[in-house]
Chain A
Amino acid sequence: MRRLVALTGMLMMLVASAYARAELNIQITRSSDQAIPIAIAPFTANGQQLPQDVSQIIENDLRNSGQFSPLPRDRQVGNPAPGDQIDYQAWQASRANYLVVGRVEPNGNGYRITYELHDVFGNARELGEVVTSGPDQLRSRAHYVADQIFEKITGIRGAFQTRIAYITSQGVDPNISFALYVADQDGYNPQQVLTSNQPVLSPTWSPDGGKLAYVSFESGRPAIYVQDLATGRRLQLTSFTGINGAPAWSPDGRKMAMSLSKDGTPDIYVMDLATRNLERLTNNSAINTEPDYSPDGSSLIFTSDRSGQPQLYRYDFAAGQAQRLTFTGNYNAGGHYSPDGETVFMVTRTDRGYQVAKQDLATNRVTVLTDTGWDEAPAIAPNGTMVVYATQQGTRGVLGAVSADGRASFVIPSPEGNVREPAWSPFLN
């Protein structure tokens, strides 16, 4: 059934959304008391009007990581530029641990960004770099600068140049429209990948970041599709009888785990993407779904209600069998490994409803990370520091984000319709 489906105008459009320029007013719902104070001085531009506020983008990235507390501009000490002598004592008095200064200048038809990171209490310049930018690259280059600052201070690779795929829907049966989008990790530059009047769900990134797999009902039956994001070309990977769901790439990109009910009830299968051969991992009358590979590829976790209620299990490929992983509470589903493989993020049912939680795999300790009773679909940043998830605000489905330590969280309101099922890309640079 290998079938390349060409781009069709009605169904798929790789177009910039009307909201590409809409301002996203992120609402901070919780701030970390351990966030590092940092001052990002407004980048000077010689009076030139820039299409993007570079220092504001850097500031937002650092704040939304939950690990930094930017100093308000009205509490900053003057407006130093790169190359200036920094009055460290004055900045120490403002209680900023770090200071970022920068300048943006025209460079050909683009820009040249110069920035420095100073350790205020160490009285020292920690970073200094000149970055060139094409005419339309200021946002992405600002994210690059934020990555460098984040990594220099925390020792963790920044993930501000990554992207997030998500699903939107509007309406109720029988008049519902669905769409698949890919946007920058901060919600800007949304690109529509697919629209349909039939359900689209479970987007997931290929390990190289070039493709998305997802489930679409556009043929009237569920099927798994793989779409190349650069070209828009896609293929229908499966068309088995019954459920074709929950695609998950292996870390090497050669296999795809999925849930198929072709043999009666949903079981976990692994498809070799080159040969299309299927290997069946579970064989029982329960619902077995939502596979997610461990980062080293030696095992996968999945949801099964073989015990009567959904719980997470881990299938070990060497042992060829599954063991139950979660025992806290009577509903644990939709598990995803952290990038280091030491933690599993999942949806757990509590007395408040459905919440995003994490389980430490060494101690099995479970920590609930989110606040409402309608939180689900956790997606973990490739550096493991943030989790974006689907939640509700008023009558709308929106995306929320929480730091992996649970200390900081915010909500990204949606302009219209319901937003859900975020999937965080791997590192793209």
Chain B
Amino acid sequence: MQFSSYAKTLAAAFSVVVIAGCSSSGGTQDGDQGGMTSGAQTSGTSSSTGAAGQGYGQGQQGQIPSVRTVYFDFDRDTIRAEFESVLNQHAAYLRANPSTQVVLEGHTDERGTREYNLGLGERRANAVRQYLTVQGVNASQLEVVSYGEERPAASGRTEEAYAQNRRVVFDY
């Protein structure tokens, strides 16, 4: 089923980690909003690290775009104009590498109920997915996973923290 094919992708990604080691120093760059680490760098069962993503990109058409996070306004799922160029880079990369899969992680800030926020995070990731498919990316390359408010990138009850948490992360 879908989970087993995902597991294979995971296994492949981890084997690349072993081969590529941690030689890359630029693999965890994220958005331009100050000091955030890539959402791809989770432990345990989640997907590959930034270093693996970098390694994965070797031998393919170009590099995975280094900016892998786009941000959203409160209670909105519309793509902000300033992030269209980021999405266009990912679209170009994915078109050039039709066998590459990416998970679009949807996130929200902490306000509101958790289960409703799962829905909001999914809506944001779907907006990115829709944008990419309009740009010619094959939908089968894209998977949406919403984390809602469960994995904040920044803690605290400030507008700055909220703004950093309302995001979609490309997890290659």
Tell whether B156 is near chain A: CB-to-CB under 8 Å. Answer: yes
| Contact residues in A for B140 (Cβ distance below 8 Å) | none
Q: Which residues of A in the span 350-371 have a Cβ within 8 Å of any Cβ on B?
A: 353-354
Contacts of B46 in A (CB 8 A): 198, 220
> Which B residue's beta carbon lies closest to that of A349?
B112
* Cβ contacts under 8 Å, A241 to chain B: 2
Contact yes or no, B44 A198, CB < 8 A: yes
Identify the stretch in B14-22, B57-65, B116-124 within 8 Å (CB) of chain A at 4 or more residues: B116-124
- The count of residues in chain B whose C-beta lies closer than 8 Å to any C-beta of chain A is 39
A217 within 8 A of B: yes
Given A289-B119, A333-B112, A333-B113, A219-B37 contact (CB < 8 Å): no
Question: How many CB-defined contacts (below 8 Å) exist between A and B?
Answer: 126
Residues B114 and A421 in contact, CB atoms below 8 Å apart: yes
Of B43, B119, B147, most A-chain CB atoms within 10 Å: B119
Q: Given A198, A245, A265, which contacts B115 in the complex, CB threshold below 8 Å?
A: A245
Contact B37 A174 (CB under 8 A): yes
Contacts of A198 in B (CB 8 A): 42, 44-46
User: Is A392 part of the binding interface, using a Cβ–Cβ cutoff of 8 Å?
Assistant: yes
Q: Is B155 an interface residue (CB 8 A)?
A: yes
CB distance from A226 to the nearest CB of B (A): 17
List B105-139 residues whose CB lies under 8 Å from chain A.
Answer: 111-116, 118-120, 122-123
In the complex the two chains form, what is the Cα distance from A243 to B6 in whole Å? 17
- Decide: A174 and B41 in contact? CB cutoff 8 A: yes
A173, A221, A392: the one within 8 Å of B145 (CB): A221
B54 at the interface (CB under 8 A from A): no
* A111, chain B: closest CB distance, angstroms: 42
Contact B39 A377 (CB under 8 A): no
| Known contacts A172-B155, A174-B41, A197-B44: A290-B3 contact under CB 8 Å | no
Bound CA span A374–B155, Å: 14
Q: Are A261 and B43 in contact (CB under 8 A)?
A: no
